[in-house]
Amino acid sequence: MAEVQADPILEALESVSARKERLHKAFTELNSCESVGKWNISWKELHEHFADIEKVVKRQVDELREKEQAFEAKAKKLHQDHDQKEEAVFQREQASLGRVQEQKDLAIAAIFEEKRKWSEEKQILKANGVNVISDAKSAPGEDNTKTIIVNAKEKAVAAANGSSDQAMDVDSSQVITADADGANEAAQDAITNKNVSHQTVKVRPQLKSLCEDMDGDGLTKYVTEHRKDIGALRSEMPSALQFAIDPARLVLRALEGYQLPEHGSSQTNDKDAGASAIRRACILLLESLAVVLADPLLGVDHIVVPSNIKESAKEMADKWKSTMDFQADATLGNSLDAQAFLQLLATFGIASEYDADDLCNLVLTIARRKQTPALCKSLGLASKIPDLVDKLSKEGKEIEALAFAHTFGIMDEFEPVPLLKAYLKEARKTAQSIVKNGNNSPAAQNDSAMKELSALKAVLRCIEEYKLEAQFSSAPLQRRVAQLEKAKSDRKRAAVAVKAQAKRPRASGAAGGHVISPSDRGLLRASERRQYPSAGLSSYGLSPQSTYDSRHSASYAATYAGVRSPASSYLYSTDVLAPQVHGMK
């Protein structure tokens, strides 16, 4: 703790009396000396002069103190007024948010109630044998069929989850009973679907039905079973959730089936593989719900969620956090739990309930995922990104660090080219160690080439995406990529040739065991070539012509045992078969 510095003016005033005493003593001694003589001024006059000066100085000091105190009091009052204004603004904001949330809750409750009433009405009408037409003209040619035409209009929620100040106003339905002759009029459904922002996306009927029925377990099961079609599901899911009466509550129900990891589990058996599929399905639902709950004007970074839904999501997040071991999962290479937890906080807008540093530590475990920088925006971690980028670069994750810097627009605070060069240098060092540890075997060479190729392609993507060509030329990197790919292709061809050479048997049918090369065979006359009709063919098990009868195989073997077949007994000429003999030993 620093010491408080004393006021030099006060110290000087306090020492005035001691100094006057010393001066008085010196004056008396000087006046007593005969050699000096008598002075014309007395000590009394000097004392009065010093007293007048002391009074003036004290008066000025007091005035300065009063001004300082007045200034401090004024500054304190200004700070208090500013704090009061901030508190008043905060209270007004909270009150406004409370009113908005109350109106939204009432609107959602009214929608639920109207749907329930309509369902009961429809069941009663069906029980009475009445045909209900909701969206089409009555079919022509139907005789003696009673029809109910429902004419209603609805002011529904305009945004994905409903606007805060739009109340539902449904006109009373008019029910008309008529015969088939006069029943060919247009009919409309009393309860219409919410406005769908992705109207161009066609949602598969089964997925739509699960959302309409608010079947969370069925929705999770459907996504898990169709995980091979994850691309189409990702595009359809936001539109599908729009068909639910309460998309947020539907996803919360689906998340109840999230299989929390067991402590000490190795996550290698089939059961854990199924749990991973369920976790991926839940993450997909959370990502899709974030699009549905996004503010229609401010975008996906501003989520509009009812307070009761937030409370339920907070309870679920607390349960997940107490059960999940994020660090152990990251060590095992499994970061699904961390991703699901962070996506839960972002989707329901409850990230502010948790410590930002803890969330950043979780972000580090999923930094390699492409969607993580956007997820950090939704979590409100923008102020932590510079430190996060620095940590990633120190951990050898330069590519991920640049992705965060580019997403948050802080590339000018870092030097991307040195980071990319450091990443390449480390990748080459790792590739060289792979070859060395593998005793320069072909497998080690392939692994080393793949490691370096992956790093080079990642750096090339960064140069193109972040427009760094002027600072870091990509030409040498592209030449190195071509060189590595050519070497890889050459090694592959050599391996195939060696494998084929090892599988080739010795030739046994040539004259004197001598193998005739295709070039020598071309120099022989036709009569001479007929002398080598089946050299080495028995090793390949070639079949004779189709005229051969297998029923006489025993007599044929006895008759022609040890005798070569003539050239005409084969389907192909010996000229065609010659290349197969070439190269045998």
CB count in 10 Å sphere of residue 419: 21
Q: How far is CA 521 from the centre of its chain?
A: 66
CA distances from residue 259 to 77, 273, 340 in whole angstroms, order as listed = 56, 11, 11
Asked whether residue 206 carries a pLDDT value surpassing 90, the answer given is yes
Question: Three-state DSSP class for 61?
Answer: helix
To which residue do tokens 């699904």 refer?
A: 336
- Supply the pTM of this predicted model: 0.54
> What is the overall mean pLDDT for the chain?
74
Measured distance CA(344)–CA(283) in Å, rounded: 8
> What sign results for the dihedral spanned by CA atoms 239, 244, 248, 253?
negative
Tokens encoding 541: 């098990």
Which is more confidently placed, 385 or 105? Answer: 385
Measured distance CA(42)–CA(49) in Å, rounded: 11
Running DSSP on this structure, what letter comes out for residue 471? T
Running DSSP on this structure, what letter comes out for residue 131? E
Measured distance CA(107)–CA(101) in Å, rounded: 10
Measured distance CA(366)–CA(392) in Å, rounded: 11
Measured distance CA(521)–CA(574) in Å, rounded: 10
**Model confidence over 48-69: pLDDT tens digits?**
888 888 888 888 888 888 998 8
Question: Three-state DSSP class for 300?
Answer: strand
Residues in the chain: 585
Q: What is the pLDDT of residue 482?
A: 94
Q: What is the pLDDT of residue 502?
A: 74
Asked whether residue 526 carries a pLDDT value surpassing 60, the answer given is no
Which is more confidently placed, 298 or 487? Answer: 487
pLDDT band at residue 200, thresholds of 50, 70 and 90? low
**Model confidence over 406-417: pLDDT tens digits?**
999 999 888 899
